[in-house]
Each structure stands twice: as structure tokens, then as C-alpha cells.
Amino acid sequence: MIETSPRQIDILVLGGGGREHALCWKLRQSPLVGRLLCAPGNAGIAAVAECVSLAIADPAAVVAFARNHDIGLVVIGPEGPLVAGVADALRAAGMAVFGPSAAAAQLEGSKGFTKDLCARVGIPTAAFRRFASGDEARAYVAAHPLPVVVKADGLAAGKGVTVAATHAEALAALDDLPGPVVIEQCMTGPEASLFVLTDGRTIAPWTSAQDYKRVHDGDAGPNTGGMGAISPAPVLTDALRDQAIAEIIKPTLAAMAEAGTPFAGVLYAGLMLTPDGPRLIEYNVRFGDPETQALMLRLESDLAEILLACAEQRLHEVAASWSPQVAVTVVMAANGYPGVPETGSVIAGTAAAEATGARVFHAGTKRNAAGDLVANAGRVLAVTASGSDSGAARAAAYAGVDRIDWPGGFCRRDIGQ
């Protein structure tokens, strides 16, 4: 009998955060994947992929690298390369890429763009006004009922938003924002993140997560890129999810297609579950970080097969199946985050943490000259575990966290509560 070997492809992942470690960890489990490369990667990713140096937001550089290395699929992690047109350049060169075009990435790249789209097609979201500069917004903000939300229009790594309880706070926020701004009505209710894959034709709702954005326990302190997550989001019932897909996701994707800029990739909707139903807070055009770390622990299907099918507009051929278990991820950040983080501190205990059954995904880590694992950015580790319910998942994640010996870092103690 003749054995036919399965088609294998080499994959390049762009990014070097905890999200990319989780994606690489999952991709590495696929029999479809030959070589797995990651640019720039980090000390944890180096255990499952070959880390390479590459200007990941330079479209021509990424195309040249992918060609030279005969890459069969490029998976783009962060928003920067998407907004810079890396996916467009790869598609134009005939290569398979998971991630939207620059035009479609405006859903994340410009809050004003998204708010205008919502207004045009009637998507439920906070009332808003756009201004070309902070100066132009001052009079409007001073007269706006409180609380009021002040946002940078462009990319701000999750830190461009101020929910101001006083006019003085709102005006101070404007002082810190250099470019165009969006001023919004403040909505109230629990939040949930919903992830939907689409190839521009098929819409495949994935699963949900809840992100913990504030730096301190009890949702105190400034916003961060995310200090932890739980998946699925306990507050998002199936009925609310279906309502959000019908009233928010589908009209958005239809409007993007109508405008000649169809969206393909993962659309991440930040939702607020208000007394009047789900409302859109914002879109991201990529996987969430740290939500992805929790999602990948629950995904039972072959990630490479799904992302390749999405890139090749065959998403209808595959389905994602999810473990009914709950997953919790706890971010450990370097002291000083979300301000200027103290880097270079030595981290020990990751192997002991993994021996508990938790997974330690790396974000800002590297090896120093002595070979020690050291902090290299604000968010450093994402310790992730699953359990039969949120309590069990929480306990398992913190059992891992408690084995990490790192005086230079901190974490929230209430993720998943």
C-alpha cells in the first residue's frame, strides 16, 4: 500500500507577545505544519518555533522573507502590520495570509472610521463626536454631561481611553492626546469580547472571553493592554451572543463588503451588555491579548487547518470545536507597568509553574548573557489553566502563578472572579 504523506506547509507568525506564543504553541501541535517561524518571537516562543528577526510592519520586507523561505501561510498577530498593509502586500504577491487588508483594519486603526460606519448602518454603540484635535474638543467636553469618555482616534495599545468622572479629568486627558480624538457618551454594564472568524464570505462565530483591563484588583487604576482573561465570558449568554452577531457583527461585515473593503481574518468585538442590549465599544482586527491565551487552551480543533482555510476562502469547510472547560489566564507584568516598566529583572520558577499543569505563555521575555530569563517589556508572562468551572480554572492558574519567583513583577489576584 502506498502511504501518501499529508501536505505540510511552513508557517510564519508575526509578533512576539503572549498571544503569539499561544498561537505558536497551538500551531506546533498540527500535523499540517512543517517549519514554524516567528518574528520576532520571544524566549518562550523559541521553544516551539524558530525566532527570526524581521521588520514585521514593512510590507516589502515581509513579502521578501516569506518568498525566500517558501512560507505557505503568514499569520499576523498584532494590529501594526495590518494597518501598515502587510496583508495586502502578501495577497498581492499571491501568498496565503491570515489577517485583514489595511482598508479593513481601519475598524481598529481609526475609532472615528468605525463610529461613522456604526452611525451609517445603525449599529448600537455609544453616541459620539469626532474632533480633528484635542483643542477643538475642549469646549464640547467642558459642556458634556458626566461621566464622559475621551479616546485617541488612532492606535494606542489599549491605553488611549479615559472614562472621566469630572470635566477637569476629561480636559487633562485631552492634553495628553496629540492627534484626532473621539468623545463618547459613557455606557454602563458588564463587558465581553466576542471573536468571529470570516474569510469575507463565511462567518464563523468563535467563542467569547472577558478581559480585565484595569491594572489593579477590583478594576482599579489605569487601563492596560489586559491583565487577565476568562473564556468563555460568563456574562455573554447564547441569546446575547446571537443578538450581538445579528445586530452588530453581521451589519458591520456587510457594510465593509458593500464599501468594497471586505473584512477577512478575526474580528474581535468589545461589547458592553447594557440594559438596552449589547452595544459595541470597539473593534479589534486581530486576536486579543491575553484572551487568545485562554482561547487556545480551549480550542480542540487544528488551528493551522482553520487559519489556512480562512486565508484560502474555504472557511465553510472547517469548524472549530471548543472544550466545555473554562480557561483563565493571569498576566504577570513588570513593576512600573502600564507606565515605564522596569526591565532586566530575573524570572525563575516557570518550569515549576508548568509542573502544576498550568501553561506559562511568554510575552516580554528574553535570555540575558548569563542565560537567565529576564523581563523585557511591560506584560511579561500569561499563566493559563483550565478547569471544570471558573473557580477550578482560577485556582489552577494561580497555583501556577504562585510557583513563579519574580520580585520584579506583579499580577492581579482577582482574575476570573
Footprint of ligand GLY (CB under 6 A): 158, 211, 225-226, 284, 288-289, 291
Distance of CA 8 to the CA centre of its chain: 27
**Helix crossing, 167-175 with 134-143: angle to 10°?**
180
3-state secondary structure of 271: strand
Output 282 or 289, the one with its CB closest to ligand AMP. Answer: 282
184 binds, options ligand AMP, ligand GLY, none, Cβ within 5 to 8 A by partner type: ligand AMP
C-alpha cell at 83: 494597518
What's the rounded Cα separation, in Å, for the pair 44 and 354? Answer: 12
223 binds, options ligand GLY, ligand AMP, none, Cβ within 5 to 8 A by partner type: ligand AMP
Output 184 or 199, the one with its CB closest to ligand AMP. Answer: 184
Shortest distance in whole angstroms from residue 412 CB to ligand AMP: 15
The count of residues in the chain is 417
Shortest distance in whole angstroms from residue 224 CB to ligand GLY: 8
288 binds, options ligand GLY, ligand AMP, none, Cβ within 5 to 8 A by partner type: ligand GLY
284 binds, options ligand GLY, ligand AMP, none, Cβ within 5 to 8 A by partner type: ligand GLY
Half-sphere exposure of 185 (CA within 13 A, CB side): 12
**What Å distances lie between residue 163 and 147, 174, 180, 206, CA to CA?**
7, 12, 17, 29
Applying CB under 6 A, the residues found at the interface with ligand AMP are: 126, 149, 158, 161, 163, 184, 186-187, 191, 213, 223, 270, 281-282
Output 225 or 408, the one with its CB closest to ligand GLY. Answer: 225
CA angle 69, 74, 77 (to 5 degrees): 130
CB contact at 8 A, 212 and 415: yes
Shortest distance in whole angstroms from residue 270 CB to ligand GLY: 8
Output 71 or 248, the one with its CB closest to ligand GLY. Answer: 248
309 binds, options ligand AMP, ligand GLY, none, Cβ within 5 to 8 A by partner type: none
Output 115 or 359, the one with its CB closest to ligand AMP. Answer: 115
Pick from 265, 276, 277: which is nearest to 241 by CA? 277
289 binds, options ligand GLY, ligand AMP, none, Cβ within 5 to 8 A by partner type: ligand GLY
Shortest distance in whole angstroms from residue 200 CB to ligand AMP: 25
Half-sphere exposure of 214 (CA within 13 A, CB side): 12
Shortest distance in whole angstroms from residue 223 CB to ligand AMP: 5
Shortest distance in whole angstroms from residue 125 CB to ligand GLY: 17
CB contact at 8 A, 83 and 94: no
**Helix crossing, 250-258 with 111-121: angle to 10°?**
100
10 binds, options ligand AMP, ligand GLY, none, Cβ within 5 to 8 A by partner type: none
Shortest distance in whole angstroms from residue 338 CB to ligand AMP: 12
What's the rounded Cα separation, in Å, for the pair 253 and 245? Answer: 10
40 binds, options ligand GLY, ligand AMP, none, Cβ within 5 to 8 A by partner type: none
**Helix crossing, 18-28 with 291-298: angle to 10°?**
20
Output 330 or 374, the one with its CB closest to ligand GLY. Answer: 330
Output 101 or 292, the one with its CB closest to ligand GLY. Answer: 292
Instruction: Please count the other Cβ atoms lying within 10 Å of the Cβ belonging to residue 54.
Output: 18
**Strand pairing report for 9-15 and 73-76:** parallel
CB contact at 8 A, 71 and 50: no
3-state secondary structure of 410: strand
Shortest distance in whole angstroms from residue 187 CB to ligand AMP: 4
Shortest distance in whole angstroms from residue 219 CB to ligand AMP: 9
DSSP 4: P
186 binds, options ligand GLY, ligand AMP, none, Cβ within 5 to 8 A by partner type: ligand AMP
Output 169 or 191, the one with its CB closest to ligand AMP. Answer: 191
| Closest CB to ligand GLY: residue number | 226
Output 231 or 284, the one with its CB closest to ligand GLY. Answer: 284
**What Å distances lie between residue 7 and 1, 30, 33, 57, 304, CA to CA?**
18, 12, 9, 29, 12
What's the rounded Cα separation, in Å, for the pair 353 and 359? Answer: 8
Output 4 or 188, the one with its CB closest to ligand AMP. Answer: 188
187 binds, options ligand AMP, ligand GLY, none, Cβ within 5 to 8 A by partner type: ligand AMP
Shortest distance in whole angstroms from residue 145 CB to ligand GLY: 28
What's the one-letter identity of residue 17? G
